[in-house]
Chains A and B, each alone.
Chain A
Amino acid sequence: MTFLSDSALERLREAADQPDLSGTRYRLLEKLGQGGMGGVFRVKDSTLEREVALKVINIADPGLSARLLQEARVIAKLEHPGIVPVHDSGMLEDGRPYYTMKLVQGESLDELAEEIGSIADLLRTFLRICEPVAFAHAHSVLHRDLKPANIMIGPFGEVLVMDWGLSKLLAGTAASDPLSEIGTSNGTSVSLGTAHGSVLGTPGYMAPEQRDGESVDPRVDVYSLGAMLEFLFKFMPGVPAPLAAICRKAKAEDRSERYASVTDLSNDVAKFLDGLPVSVYREGFLARASRWIRRNRTWILLLLAYVVMRVLLIIFRPR
């Protein structure tokens, strides 16, 4: 038997994983990354002569195929600057479905968070993550796998929510959620938590009800956003008490104690950024006064300057 070195093994694995694009208008350029169910490749669209990203599952699997197509349809439905647009979808000769999307140059939030800088900048980034998620919720779509690795920051600071592979259409039929059908060889329903014999989602960012395979609603994404806010805390010199309270509320184990919507959560974060009281934190008098002073610093300084000037005028007025 041929002995394969580690590097040969890796090259062969990549070779075996490469999609056969013959019969499509795309030409393979390089692999960009690997997700839970498939790889993403940089390809050249020979018709439009532009580079796009192509996502394809690793093996022709009915469950994974349904998830990939679901992802493509969900993204196509959500036209928002914070969500990468889908261009095209199709099937490879070996039965693997694929879709192409805009090629995004950038880095993920977990790679870039350290460089973002101030608390205000981190929170502004967080708010821009909330926008497409709230938009998706308004279109009855849950993301269900929000985490820093799935947030892309572009070279011009654009924030994109990626990887909608676990997304779910609310108020749809069972067929609108392929995850509910994965592994149903005997025709009975399988809870999300045990689909494919494993929990779908990311530990640490997954709401308890998602982990336990219960029914889910927009508050699963509220929980994940709370976990993401907590992740951003690591890059702050200190965590102000109102922010910590916002995070606790978003990450409440009992979903009835969480923010009811992403908009409620982002409103509180925005209020904190504006120096306003947040809904989930009752301040003491000193904290309130301190925040009031910070918020009205300019007016207070002007007033003080005026008072000082008046006093000086009184003292040095020619007699």
Chain B
Amino acid sequence: MGEDTSIGGARHQFPLTRWSVIEGARSTEPAQRQRALDALVSAYWKPVYKYIRLHWAKENEEAKDLTQDFFTRLIEKQLLDRFDPAKARLRTYLRVCVDGLVMNTDKAAQRQKRGGDVVLLPLDFESAEGECRQLPVAAPGGPEEFFAKEFARSLFGLAVDRLRNECEAKGKALYFQLLDLYDIEEGGKDLTYEEVATRFGIKATDVTNYLSYARKEFRRIVLEELRTMTASEDEFRREAQTLLGARLA
């Protein structure tokens, strides 16, 4: 599976564990700061684009511009420095920043700015636009719920990609294929373990064990990714509870 952004792609070479993007973004070390921002953009650009596109009902081109603008401002104006984890979750803070941007941006000024020295992030808007077409136009649960769900989709997507890479690196590609079959592909759940075992030429007990391993690893990766996307232990716990405990609307 290809990377949507070169920014998101680079972080897979340097797995981020046990530290937060907020910590990194506030670092005085440029390399660490850049890695943190890359990680943040990688996890959030699709939720931001879809949120602008569907919640704010912006046209495709305008949503692209606003998404670029949002992350540019986030980096240039160091908006993450103002984030206070005691007051809100990072996810909520970013959504509110997006709301502020969309409400206050003057289109003409925005275009003028794009014509300047701003470096555009290489984001794959075509894929995001394709995903938008599969989503309901009106989010039933309101903006917060919509954004939370798109963040979950993005985070899980990153985790799936990472699990695939890690399984392949360990010579356990089959483990990932079983998870892909059962938990990602449509209709996979209808297959019995015996049918799957026959298809892959393994024993039914292997299916149970491999699937169990892949799911356990998937959970670990999701929690690791989530930890990087939260600013405090408390926020991490609450986000994990939301992500794993509650049914996503």
A interface residue numbers (CB < 8 A to B): 1-5, 7-13, 15-18, 20, 22, 34, 37-39, 58-59, 61, 63-64, 94, 183, 196-197
Contacts and interface: CB of A to CB of B under 8 A. Distances in A.
B55 to A, nearest CB: 17
Interface in B216-249: 216, 218-220, 222-223, 234, 237-238, 240-241, 243-248
Interface residues of B, number: 45
* Most interface-central of A20, A22, A59, A196 (chain B CB within 10 A): A59
A59 B244 contact: yes
A213 to B, nearest CB: 18
B5 to A, nearest CB: 9
Contacts of B222: 16
B179 interface: yes
B215 A15 contact: yes
B11 to A, nearest CB: 12
Contacts of A17: 219, 244-245
Q: 7 closest A-B pairs (Cβ-Cβ)?
A: A16-B219, A58-B245, A1-B157, A59-B240, A11-B183, A15-B215, A58-B244
A12 B219 CA distance: 9
Contacts of A37: 241, 245
Consensus secondary structure, chain A interface: mixed
A17 B241 CA distance: 10
Contact of A10 (B131, B237, B247): B247
A5 B186 contact: yes
A184 to B, nearest CB: 12
A9 B240 contact: no
Contacts of A22: 212
B156 A59 contact: no
Contact of B184 (A1, A11, A18, A64): A11
B1 interface: yes
Interface of B: 1, 3-4, 8, 42, 46, 127, 130-131, 134, 149, 152-154, 156-158, 160-161, 179, 182-186, 189, 212, 215-216, 218-220, 222-223, 234, 237-238, 240-241, 243-248
A9 B248 contact: yes
Contacts of A34: 245-247
Nearest to A93: B216
B234 A58 contact: no
A95 to B, nearest CB: 11
Given A3-B127, A3-B131, A13 B184 contact: no
* Most interface-central of A1, A4, A9, A34 (chain B CB within 10 A): A1
B238 to A, nearest CB: 8
Given A5-B186, A17-B244, 12 more contacts: A1-B8, A2-B157, A3-B153, A3-B157, A11-B183, A13-B244, A16-B215, A16-B218, A16-B219, A39-B245, A59-B237, A59-B244
Contacts of A10: 247-248
A18 B3 contact: no
A4 B247 contact: no
Given A9-B156, A39-B245, A61 B184 contact: no
Contacts of A61: 237
A10 B218 CA distance: 14
A38 B186 CA distance: 27
A11 B234 contact: no
Contacts of A7: 186
B8 to A, nearest CB: 7
Contacts of A94: 216, 219-220
* Most interface-central of A3, A63, A196 (chain B CB within 10 A): A3
